[in-house]
Amino acid sequence: MDAIPKHRSHPEIVKRLRRAEGHLRGVIAMIEAERPCLEIAQQMHAVEKAIGQAKKALIEDHLDHCLDAVVGPMEAGQRQEIADFKAIAKYL
């Protein structure tokens, strides 16, 4: 079976997720150490944001990498609709 081509953003996404993984371990340690809930919540929020940013980068790269390959050549007016779709997807 052929390997799926790696997207150009995958190495950076892996780095982001590894950082989030480290932060999550830190949150677990904070809970076990009975640190203040506010500090724990702040760190959990940071982990959540990091994972969300990794997800966003993955989706944007997928749209850039795969959507164009599937759609193929188009006229300029049609191409603008694809560009608009990609732009609005950034707000998800």
Q: Which domains are present in the chain? A: 10-89 (1.20.58.1000)
Task: Give the C-alpha separation, 82 to 54, whole Å.
Answer: 23
pLDDT (average), residues 61-89: 81
* Cα gap 47→5, rounded to integer Å: 28
Q: What is the pLDDT of residues 21-42, one digit of tens each?
A: 999 999 999 999 999 999 999 9
- According to the model, what pLDDT value does residue 70 have? 79
Whether the full predicted model's pTM is greater than 0.85, yes or no, is no
**Proportion of the chain above pLDDT 90, given as a percent:** 48
